[in-house]
Structure 1
């Protein structure tokens, strides 16, 4: 669990319509940029331990699709859209500081 905002990569390195997996200490985080908005969720599928960043970004639905069993997860809420995944993945807060994407706890 991220307890403070951690700098990751320059915002300019995350191209529009792409995603990237990152390691922040013990956390595995996926960041994605769609329509200028940056999203951050846990990069590990809640159904089967695999990296969501190896899947597909579903831009028009703001989702990422797991590469193993095709479950899709909302980039906004972390909720799975379909089976076999039933549990959500964690969603993180995002802020830009000096042109760098920072990921941390989600605002309540």
Structure 2
């Protein structure tokens, strides 16, 4: 795998910024992946809920939240006793690619 220079990354970032400012940008891979994940959640029976709560309740929920736990899981755990299992965010192919990339990065570090 070839190394990418800082100049190349900066140029790509500037190019992406220009495309976004013109309003003709393609959706990012993350946006596409999130859209697919939301579809899998709906298919698994999950519903999106948005609520307004008082600051005391918001603080209480924040205090009960576990590391890396989303708000939905926190509420499920507090109200139902446990959080429902969610569909995997990454597909098996994406996980394998990420694992290879991470192992490459770990080897490349001085």
Q: Calculate the TM-score normalised by the size of structure 1.
A: 0.27
Larger % of strand: which? 1
Q: Calculate the TM-score normalised by the size of structure 2.
A: 0.27
Larger % of helix: which? 2
Bigger-Rg structure (1/2): 2
